[in-house]
């Protein structure tokens, strides 16, 4: 056990060490500073969000008519494939465990940087290279990959999808996969070895806890995807027959491999965002996270269960054991429910400040509740049989991922000022929130109904059912509202550019990042407060208001 | 009517308010369960097969549970938002972090709900995936981009692709065994009126049973992305009486050679027969 510092003291010579390295572009190219890398990740991921969003708007425009002719059938297949691929592989994951984790985790645990700064830089460059590789498929003769973001064999073999776009998709995914694995290694090492004195495991902020669990899931799941992609590439080019029936292979094996990565991936994406909203709800309610330890165990339970549910994506294959994967999937509702009640419990009897970040977090909560409840249906095989591959499933996971986008925006409004030193405009932020939140619901509700009425996903046209046009048009209105919210975010960055200095602690924050300057100095801290709970900065600023212990229930502490 | 009861009966809670809340949540379930057929559809449709109907009732049960839980959570959230708005810049609330009995309550109750949902799922699932012995068997073969329906023991074969939708003829009121496979990539056999879908996998014969309860023509299509013309891989299911089905099968027996020679033409010629429906009129804009 290390000594707990009674008073903040300077942290050695590093405290006043200035960054004498190169400036400008050269600094960005050569940096190993986690904050600069985190910013690079953030900018790249937001650009990917915009690109993926543009694909989505084209998809919606095509579906405005039952016999839409805006794009060809072939182009449509490329568009939804790359929409899904960009959003999942190039935006959501890297934004969660690349951008915000890089910026926040080392500071939250009082570390000067990530454990392996050069590996961290490599992660970013692999991610950027992989993203460009995957997107460059659009510039090949055969177009980009067009077999869906899941790349099911044997549609993804060299006979059915001969183009270079498919190979670039595989290559890009391999590169970003390695990026994720290296980031996972880095996060685990950083969180285990670089915590400041006094920062025990159960004094780590929930965001850091969630990133630790995310990193462990990355290490368990991503190598499986990497192996699968190499097998797929070998099938395409080296004449192996791993997924081809003709050579004695098994097409469904690809689905097992893909979803063995793919379902943990859902939580690799979601857990960092859960962590963000946990921090934000606590800070803006001026209360500690309700049920902190229960929250940690819920996260661990979700992670453990997520490794045993992959085949719920394969109920309709007819070749998986339905009851096992059904009960495992249903059980995930329990720890997820605990989280939702803990979030509400954190707000309960708090003093809630409805900043943009808090609004986004509440928007996340509502949207995620809808996505979570509809997910429970899909865990039941008989219900999955008639909703699988329809727009019901599309609506379900868009409720979930749009909830994550809301959470990510909350994270940017909350932590952005720490890394840039400047706040974003709150009025524009709140308008952006309403566009994003309302747009999400207007987009998802009609496509839930479309799915129940039998509209399959990935259809460029629906000539048999022109009556679906109305609901599709409503969904398109929602997609446009979401697009406007993204524009408002960019406008906000421009309008607020270096306008509203944030100060060190604009939100009366709880965790260590709000103890240092905005932006933090080269190695993050000049001094550290004593760490006696998971809220060292709060304890330092409000020594008379530390969290109540287990025995002190609401009843006893009633005002 | 097997709408599963979803009453969230769990560990006893301490406060009276909670007990009252719980009672309020159980009441609508009981009311809906008693009212039988008036349970709302929650967006799904009562199906035209026995198993599809079971799935529909399961859907209703899940929806009642989801509606209650969703409403409860939204009300709690709304109360927190409206009631605990910050009043002054320096007010600091009681720093409550744990309430173990409450946390146990909202862990145990969801576990009980999940057990209930799983039990209801198992009952319906066992019906849906059951493969009883049947008199009627249809082999369904999916390919890029069409369907081939053949009838073992008969020379009847129906084939159709992209611009020409084939029709699978099957009898009403009896179990029909389907052998489903694919000759190339993964396809999805989906009939929305049956509340059912299953993958057609290359190298695997998927077997399931359909038991239609209504005659009529039902629309089906491929739901699993299968390449360029995935959006056009339609078919129809024509459910007829057993005698009509027999006479339809018999209509093939004289011309087996011709049928085998030109399966697509067979499908076309059947379009004009009395029991096979006319083709859907929509034109497919394959570019």
In a domain, A205, yes or no: yes
Distance CA A206, CA A534 (A): 8
B219 touches chain A (CB under 8 A): yes
Q: Is the peptide bond before A339 cis (omega within 30 degrees of 0)?
A: no
Q: What is the pTM of this model?
A: 0.89
- With cut-offs at 50, 70 and 90, classify the pLDDT of residue B4: very low
Q: What is the pLDDT of residue A24?
A: 78
Q: What is the pLDDT of residue A216?
A: 97
Q: Give Cβ neighbours of residue B277 (< 8 Å, ≥ 6 apart).
A: B167, B217, B236, B238
Mean pLDDT of A314-322: 91
B205 with A399: CB under 8 angstroms?
A: no
Nearest residue in chain B measured CA to CA from A149: B225
Say whether A452 and B198 touch across the interface (CB within 8 A): no
A162 touches chain B (CB under 8 A): no
B87 contact residues in A (CB cutoff 8 A)? 351
Say whether A160 and B184 touch across the interface (CB within 8 A): yes
Choose among A365, A366, A449: nearest Cβ to B43.
A449
Q: Provide φ and ψ at B133, rounded to 5°.
A: -70, 135
**List of domains in chain B:** 16-128 (1.10.287), 136-270 (2.60.40.420)
Q: For B6-98, where are the E strands, in sequence order?
A: none
Beta bridge partners of B200: B187
Strands B234-240 and B167-171: parallel
Say whether A542 and B92 touch across the interface (CB within 8 A): yes
pLDDT digits (tens, 9 = 90+) for A36-71: 999 999 999 999 999 999 999 999 999 999 999 999
The CB-based long-range contact list for B120-124 (8 Å cut-off, 24+ gap) reads B120/A380, B120/B2, B120/B4, B120/B58, B120/B61, B120/B62, B121/A326, B121/A330, B121/A380, B121/A381, B121/A382, B121/A383, B121/B58, B122/A323, B123/B2, B123/B4, B124/A380, B124/A382, B124/B2, B124/B54, B124/B55, B124/B57, B124/B58
In a domain, A241, yes or no: yes
Q: What is the pLDDT of residue B33?
A: 54
Say whether B196 and A452 touch across the interface (CB within 8 A): no
Q: Per the structure, how many domains does chain A have? A: 1
Percent of chain A with pLDDT over 70: 94
In a domain, A548, yes or no: no
CATH classification of the domain holding A210: 1.20.210.10
User: Which residues between 353 and 412 in chain A have a beta carbon less than 8 angstroms from any beta carbon of chain B?
Assistant: 353-354, 362, 365-366, 369-370, 373-374, 376-377, 380-383, 385-386, 388-390
Mean pLDDT of A73-87: 96
In a domain, A317, yes or no: yes
Distance CA A374, CA A393 (A): 9
Say whether B284 and A461 touch across the interface (CB within 8 A): yes
Choose among A285, A294, A389: nearest Cβ to B197.
A389
B222 with B190: CB under 8 angstroms?
A: yes
Distance from CA of residue B258 to its chain's centroid?
37
Q: How far is A44 from chain B (nearest CA, A)?
A: 30
B234 contact residues in A (CB cutoff 8 A)? 464
Decide if pLDDT at B282 tops 50: no
A171 touches chain B (CB under 8 A): no
pLDDT digits (tens, 9 = 90+) for A108-159: 999 999 999 999 999 999 999 999 999 999 999 999 999 999 999 999 999 9
Q: Which domain holds residue A432?
A: 24-540
Decide if pLDDT at B177 tops 70: yes
User: Which residues between 117 and 176 in chain B have a beta carbon less than 8 angstroms from any beta carbon of chain A?
Assistant: 117-118, 120-122, 124-125, 128-129, 144
Q: How far is A549 from chain B (nearest CA, A)?
A: 7
Decide if pLDDT at B24 tops 70: no
Q: What is the pLDDT of residue B274?
A: 32
Q: What is the pLDDT of residue A550?
A: 64
Percent of chain A with pLDDT over 90: 90
Say whether B201 and A546 touch across the interface (CB within 8 A): no
Decide if pLDDT at A449 tops 80: yes
Size of interface A-B (CB pairs under 8 A): 291
User: Which residues between 534 and 553 in chain A have a beta carbon less than 8 angstroms from any beta carbon of chain B?
Assistant: 542, 545-550, 552-553
pLDDT digits (tens, 9 = 90+) for A160-169: 999 899 999 9
Q: How buried is residue A193: exposed, middle or buried, by Cβ count under 10 Å (0-12/13-18/19+)?
A: exposed
Decide if pLDDT at B193 tops 80: yes
Which 8-state DSSP code applies to residue B85? Answer: B
In a domain, A76, yes or no: yes
pLDDT digits (tens, 9 = 90+) for A416-434: 999 999 999 999 999 999 9
Angle among Cα B206, B211, B215 to the nearest 5 degrees reads 125
Beta bridge partners of B145: none
What does the DSSP assignment read for B206-263? EEEEEEB-S-EEEEEEE-S--STTGGG-EEEEEEE-HHHHHHHHHTTGGGHHHHHH-H
pLDDT digits (tens, 9 = 90+) for A385-408: 999 999 999 999 999 999 999 999
Q: What is the pLDDT of residue B88?
A: 85
Say whether B125 and A381 touch across the interface (CB within 8 A): yes
Choose among B122, B195, B208: nearest Cβ to A386.
B195
Decide if pLDDT at B165 tops 70: yes
A423 with A502: CB under 8 angstroms?
A: yes
B71 contact residues in A (CB cutoff 8 A)? none
b/e map A197-212, b = 16+ CB within 10 Å: ebbeeebbbbbbbbbb
ipTM for the complex? 0.91
Choose between A548 and A131: higher pLDDT. Answer: A131
Choose among A291, A318, A362: nearest Cβ to B81.
A362
In a domain, A556, yes or no: no
A399 contact residues in B (CB cutoff 8 A)? none
B48 contact residues in A (CB cutoff 8 A)? none
The helix or strand, by DSSP H or E, that contains position B171, with its residue range, turns out to be strand B167-171
Distance CA A531, CA B148 (A): 70
- With cut-offs at 50, 70 and 90, classify the pLDDT of residue B280: very low
Q: Give Cβ neighbours of residue B31 (< 8 Å, ≥ 6 apart).
A: none
Q: Across chain B, which distance is largest between two alpha carbons, in Å?
A: 92
Q: What is the pLDDT of residue B50?
A: 95
In a domain, A412, yes or no: yes
Q: What is the pLDDT of residue B164?
A: 83
Q: What is the pLDDT of residue A8?
A: 47
């Amino acid at each position: 056990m290390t000594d707990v510092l009674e008073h903040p003291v300077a942290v050695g010579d590093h405290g006043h060490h200035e960054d004498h390295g190169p400036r400008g572009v050269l600094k960005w190219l050569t940096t190993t500073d986690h904050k600069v890398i985190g910013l690079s990740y953030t900018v790249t991921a937001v650009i990917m969000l915009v690109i993926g969003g543009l694909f989505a708007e084209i998809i919606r425009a095509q579906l405005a008519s039952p016999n839409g002719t805006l794009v060809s059938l072939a182009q449509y297949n490329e568009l939804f494939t790359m929409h899904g691929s960009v959003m999942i592989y190039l935006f959501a994951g890297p934004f969660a465990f690349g951008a915000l984790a890089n910026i926040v985790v080392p500071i939250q645990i009082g570390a000067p940087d990530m454990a392996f700064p050069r590996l961290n830089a490599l992660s970013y460059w692999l991610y950027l290279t992989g993203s460009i590789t995957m997107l460059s498929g659009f510039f090949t003769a055969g177009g980009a990959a067009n077999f869906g973001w899941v790349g099911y064999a044997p549609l993804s073999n060299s006979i059915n999808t001969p183009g270079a776009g498919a190979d670039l998709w595989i290559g890009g995914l391999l590169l970003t996969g390695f990026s994720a694995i290296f980031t996972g290694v880095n996060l685990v090492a950083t969180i285990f070895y670089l915590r400041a004195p006094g920062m025990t495991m159960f004094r780590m902020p929930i965001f850091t806890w969630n990133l630790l669990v995310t990193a462990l899931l990355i290490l368990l799941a991503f190598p499986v995807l990497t192996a699968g992609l190499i097998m797929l590439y070998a099938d395409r080019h080296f004449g192996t027959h791993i997924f081809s029936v003709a050579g004695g292979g098994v097409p469904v094996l690809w689905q097992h491999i893909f979803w063995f990565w793919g379902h943990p991936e859902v939580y690799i994406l979601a857990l960092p965002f859960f962590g963000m909203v946990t921090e934000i709800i606590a800070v803006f309610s001026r209360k500690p996270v309700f049920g902190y330890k229960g929250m940690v165990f819920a996260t661990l339970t979700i992670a453990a269960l997520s490794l045993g549910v992959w085949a719920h994506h394969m109920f309709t294959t007819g070749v998986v054991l339905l009851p096992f994967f059904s009960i495992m999937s249903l059980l995930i509702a329990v720890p997820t429910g605990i989280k939702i009640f803990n979030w509400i419990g954190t707000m309960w009897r708090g003093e809630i400040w409805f900043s943009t970040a808090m609004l986004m977090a509440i928007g996340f909560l509502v949207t995620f509740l809808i996505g979570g409840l509809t997910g429970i249906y899909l865990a039941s095989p008989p219900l999955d049989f008639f909703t699988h591959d329809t727009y019901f499933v599309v609506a379900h996971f868009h409720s979930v991922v749009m909830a994550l986008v809301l959470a990510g925006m909350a994270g940017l409004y909350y932590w952005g000022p720490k890394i840039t030193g400047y706040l974003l405009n709150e009025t524009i932020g709140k308008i952006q929130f309403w566009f994003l939140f309302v747009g999400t619901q207007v987009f998802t509700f009609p496509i839930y109904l479309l799915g129940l009425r039998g509209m399959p996903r990935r259809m460029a046209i629906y000539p048999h059912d022109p009556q679906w046009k109305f609901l599709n048009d409503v969904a398109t209105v929602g997609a446009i509202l979401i697009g406007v919210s993204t524009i408002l975010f960019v406008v906000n960055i421009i309008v607020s550019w270096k306008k509203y200095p944030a100060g060190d602690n604009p939100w009366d924050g709880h965790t260590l990042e709000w103890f240092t300057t905005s932006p933090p100095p080269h190695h993050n801290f000049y001094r550290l407060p004593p760490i006696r709970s998971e809220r060292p900065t709060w304890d330092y600023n409000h020594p008379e208001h530390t969290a109540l212990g287990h025995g002190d229930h609401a009843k006893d502490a009633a005002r | 009517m097997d709408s599963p009861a979803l009453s969230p009966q769990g560990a006893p809670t301490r406060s009276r308010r909670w007990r009252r809340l719980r009672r309020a949540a159980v009441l609508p379930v009981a009311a809906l369960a008693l009212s039988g057929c008036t349970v709302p559809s929650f967006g799904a449709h009562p199906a035209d097969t026995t198993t599809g109907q079971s799935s529909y009732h399961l859907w209703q049960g899940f929806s009642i549970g989801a509606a209650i839980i969703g409403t409860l959570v939204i009300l709690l959230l709304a109360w927190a938002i409206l009631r605990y708005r910050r009043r002054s810049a320096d007010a600091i609330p009681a720093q409550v972090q744990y309430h173990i009995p409450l946390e146990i309550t909202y862990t145990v109750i969801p576990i009980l709900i999940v057990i209930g949902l799983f039990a209801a799922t198992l009952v319906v699932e066992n019906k849906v995936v059951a493969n009883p012995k049947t008199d009627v068997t249809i082999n369904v073969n999916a390919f890029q981009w069409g369907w081939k329906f053949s009838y073992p023991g008969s020379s009847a074969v129906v084939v159709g692709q992209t611009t020409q939708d084939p029709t699978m003829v099957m009898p009403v009121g009896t179990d029909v065994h389907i052998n489903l496979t694919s000759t190339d990539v993964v396809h999805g056999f989906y009939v929305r009126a049956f509340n059912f879908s299953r993958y057609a996998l290359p190298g695997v014969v998927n077997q399931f049973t359909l038991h239609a309860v209504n005659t009529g023509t039902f629309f089906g299509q491929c739901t699993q992305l299968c390449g360029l013309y995935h959006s056009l891989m339609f078919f129809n299911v024509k459910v007829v009486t057993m005698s009509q089905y027999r006479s339809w099968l018999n209509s093939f027996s004289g011309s087996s050679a011709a049928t085998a020679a030109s399966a697509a033409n067979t499908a076309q010629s059947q379009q004009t027969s009395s029991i096979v429906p006319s083709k859907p009129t929509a034109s497919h804009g394959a570019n």
